Amino acid sequence: MHFDLVAIGGGFAGICAAVRGAELGLRTAVLETGTDEGYPCSSRWAGGIFHVSYHDVKLTPDELLTAINRQTDGETDQELAAAIAADAGRTVDWLASQGAAFTDASPIGWHRFTLAPPRLPVAGQDWQGRGPDRLLGELRRRLQERQGRLLLGTRTASLRLERGRVIGVTAHRDGAVLDIDADAVVIADGGFPGNAELFRKYIGPRPDRVLMRHAGTAIGDGLKMAAEAGAALVGLDRFYGHLLSRDAMESKALWPYPQIDAVATAAIVVDRRGSRILDEGLGGISIANNLARLHDPLCATVICDAPIWETAGKAAQIPPNPQLLAGGGTLHRADTIEALAEAAGLPPENLAGTVAEYNDAVRFNRLLTLLPERSTRSGAPRRIETPPFFAIPIGAGITNTMGGIAIDGHGRVKRPDGPAIAGLYAAGGTTGGLEGGGALGYVGGLIKACVFGLRTAEHAADRHGWAREPGAAAPVRLALATQADIGSVALAAPDGLPTPPTASSDGCSRIRRPTRCRRSLSHAAARLQLHVCQ
Ligand SMILES: Cc1cc2nc3c(=O)[nH]c(=O)nc-3n(C[C@H](O)[C@H](O)[C@H](O)COP(=O)(O)OP(=O)(O)OC[C@H]3O[C@@H](n4cnc5c(N)ncnc54)[C@H](O)[C@@H]3O)c2cc1C
């Protein structure tokens, strides 16, 4: 089997790369471990909100870059951040042109591009028939329409290299070993949140006590393959995740939602001694990372009072108040802190002392004197003083790893000493460098997967026949085209080949048939036969 581009993994990163590649005239395939068309992956289970660091994807590139830098405290690879900022808007337009339906899921600005239909506001698993599940189906159909292949039940085991260049992959399917040739390979396996050994190596000692808040299919195959091929790996010790009821370890009704983040951030998190153990003001992702690094990640309980439970508890789209109880989660309630401690199995005297010290620090603005100190990055702390009081046993949930394979702005996989590995790309949750940093800055899993899915395919298509030669035609950047901005020019396909896409650019008059173009074409470009001539 030979393809121009092979994507390892059928989440949004891999399938966007394959559909986009096919649209640009490449013969593409997705190799997916899952065995049926509803194969589980984080993309399918996602909430479906496309955002850039909690900002509307349609803001200007400058505004988006500022948002990413603010979220990450500037600890982001600027080339990757600039790529996201430049392409976020056109990526949702491209998805819409491929059948994505977006809805304004809430009055919150950065929810404007949520895949429809959105999740219901209920606890537990609710992904079937929701926006991301539907979009994966649409993209699969588009891939097949363009003669791309989705090879289910096909787990890629290793990359094949020749003289330092990737020339294909070896995969396993139905007990057989397949050698698949490919000019470009895109690793899009989702990262390593489901690999206990890698979790222990890079994140924390007890993966068995951290809730796997994902589909369980991203198990680090891509990271290992890339490392063996000589790739640089970056930021492996950070993950994107949330706080969940501790009962979610046992009950599917309590994950991936409701998240307890907003309540924890407004109140305090204590350990089994009733003492604060971390800076709650850094927000839910930071708290989840801190807990996951402990020897006892399930030691934590959130303590709050009635006003916090009635406001922060109701703030999320799927709020713990009332979805925690609706899902069968534990919520202790009492009229005094001491009685609350008894109910939650915490030492009453110590918990009362912790709450009193915290309340004083908030009242007298002495947050930095607390140990650990308390910041306000993700929201202002609130005093815990109005009964009834509440205690919620929590755990850390890992959604996806933030670090991974180092890539450049085209998604090419980098070596530690800089230059890219020829023929090798990576996209989505398996990549690192954009997110994480000291501030555990999150940029957005969906936008990262889709932007780099498109970029890898576009670069591979350029390399495959449209690379600029001195004095020759510039490569077409269909990247800039969406169905919406088409002043379209339809081009005929050569006999026996797929119909080329309808193309547009900001200057359609510059598009002409390649038969009139002097430049000789490589076989990939010949299939598409589309050039923008200077
Ligand atoms: C519950 C939940 C809610 C989320 N909500 C949002 C949200 O609202 N907004 C947002 O921006 N992000 C959200 N995310 C994060 C986002 O879904 C992910 O970051 C993104 O979908 C990752 O896409 P991906 O294609 O890189 O990986 P995945 O979707 O994980 O796909 C990887 C695929 O690779 C396959 N695979 C793995 N190994 C191999 C192999 N060796 N060979 C072949 N195939 C392989 C897997 O089976 C899988 O299908 C959410 C995630 C979860 C779990």
Residues 166-185: pLDDT tens digits?
999 999 999 999 999 999 99
Tell me the C-alpha distance between 305 and 233, whole Å: 44
- With a 6 Å cutoff on the Cβ, whether 482 touches ligand 1 is no
Same domain for 387 and 312: yes
Q: Can you tell me the distance from the alpha carbon of 258 to that of 82, in angstroms, rounded to the nearest whole number?
A: 33
Between the CA of 41 and the centroid of ligand 1 the distance, in Å, is 5
Question: Of 348, 383, 398, which residue sits at a domain end?
Answer: 398
Task: Return the residue whose CA atom lies nearest to atom 37 of ligand 1.
Answer: 189
Determine contact, residues 407/232, Cβ cutoff 8 Å: no
Which ligand 1 atom is the nearest neighbour of the CA of 189? 34
Same domain, 182 and 53: yes
Instruction: Tell me which amino acid residue 418 is.
Output: G
State the distance from the centre of ligand 1 to the C-alpha of 18, rounded, in angstroms.
Answer: 16
To the nearest whole number, what is the mean pLDDT of the chain? 88
> Is pLDDT of 154 > 50?
yes
Q: At 262, which amino acid appears?
A: A
Based on the fold, state whether residues 79 and 197 are members of the same structural domain.
yes
The predicted structure's pLDDT at residue 359: 98
Q: What does DSSP say about strands 176-187 and 420-426: parallel, antiparallel, or unpaired?
A: parallel
pLDDT confidence of 229, banded at 50, 70, 90? very high
184 is a domain residue: yes
Alpha helices by DSSP H, 99-215: 131-145, 196-202
Q: Does 211 share its domain with 227?
A: yes
Residue 75 falls within a domain, yes or no? yes
Residue 286's pLDDT is 97
Mean pLDDT of 249-257: 97
- CATH (domain of 388): 3.90.700.10
pLDDT at 323: 97
Q: Is residue 476 part of a domain?
A: yes
* 81-95, 287-301, 353-367, 519-533: segment of lowest average pLDDT: 519-533
- The verdict on 208 and 294 lying in the same domain is no
Question: Is residue 137 situated within a structural domain?
Answer: no
**Whole domain around residue 306: which residue ranges?**
241-398
Residue 445 beta carbon below 6 angstroms from any ligand 1 atom: yes
How far, in Å, from the CA of 478 to the mean position of ligand 1?
26
Same domain, 328 and 193: no
Concatenating the DSSP letter of every residue in 265-323 gives HHSEEE-TTS-B-S-GGG-HHHHHHHHHTSS-TT--EEEEEHHHHHHGGGTSSS-HHHH
Whether residues 303 and 449 share a domain: the answer is no
Q: What is the CATH number of the domain that holds 148?
A: 3.50.50.60
Q: Based on the domain organization, do 262 and 382 belong to the same domain?
A: yes
Domain assignment present for 138: no
CA of 48 relative to ligand 1 center, distance in Å:
11
pLDDT over 80 (residue 119): yes
Q: Is residue 135 part of a domain?
A: no
At residue 388, does pLDDT exceed 60? Answer: yes
| Residue to mutate, 41, 115, 133, ligand 1, most ligand atoms under 8 Å from C-beta | 41
Question: For residue 8, how far is its CA from the centre of ligand 1 (angstroms)?
Answer: 12
Q: Ligand 1 within 6 A of 446 CB?
A: yes
Distance 9 CA to ligand 1 centre (A): 9
Candidate from 16, 57, 111, 189 with most ligand 1 atoms within 8 A of CB, to mutate: 189
CA of 377 to the centre of ligand 1 (A): 28
User: Based on the domain organization, do 493 and 344 belong to the same domain?
Assistant: no
Are 436 and 238 in contact, with CB atoms under 8 Å apart?
Answer: yes
Provide the pLDDT for residue 473: 36
441 and 352 co-located in one domain: no
| Residue environment code for 318-345, b if the CB has 16+ CB neighbours within 10 A, otherwise e | bbbbebbeebebbbbebeebbbbbeebe
Q: What is the pLDDT of residue 465?
A: 64
- Identify which has the larger pLDDT, 496 or 447: 447
207 in ligand 1 pocket by Cβ < 6 Å?
Answer: no
User: What is the pLDDT averaged over residues 127-152?
Assistant: 98
What SS3 string covers 210-273? CEECCCCCCCCHHHHHHHHCCCCEECCCCEEEEEEEHHHHCCHHHCCCCCCHHHHHHCEEECCC
| Separation of alpha carbons 288 and 308, rounded Å | 20
Q: What is the pLDDT of residues 475-520, one digit of tens each?
A: 433 333 332 222 222 222 322 223 333 333 322 222 222 322 323 3
**For ligand 1, is residue 156 a contact (CB within 6 Å)?**
yes
Global pTM value: 0.88
Residue nearest to atom 52 of ligand 1 (CA): 46
Answer yes or no: do 195 and 298 share one domain. no
How many domains is the chain partitioned into structurally?
3
- pLDDT of 35 higher than 60: yes
Q: Are residues 171 and 294 in the same domain?
A: no
Q: What is the pLDDT of residue 463?
A: 84
Q: Are 154 and 174 in contact (CB under 8 A)?
A: no
Residue 389 clears pLDDT 60, i.e. is over it: yes
Cα 398 to middle of ligand 1, angstroms: 12
Evaluate whether residue 136 is within a structural domain.
Answer: no
Q: Is the CB of 218 under 6 A from ligand 1?
A: yes
What does the CA dihedral 17, 20, 23, 27 come to, rounded to 10 degrees?
A: -10
Query: Percentage of the chain with pLDDT > 90?
Result: 84
Residue 154 Cα: closest atom of ligand 1: 43
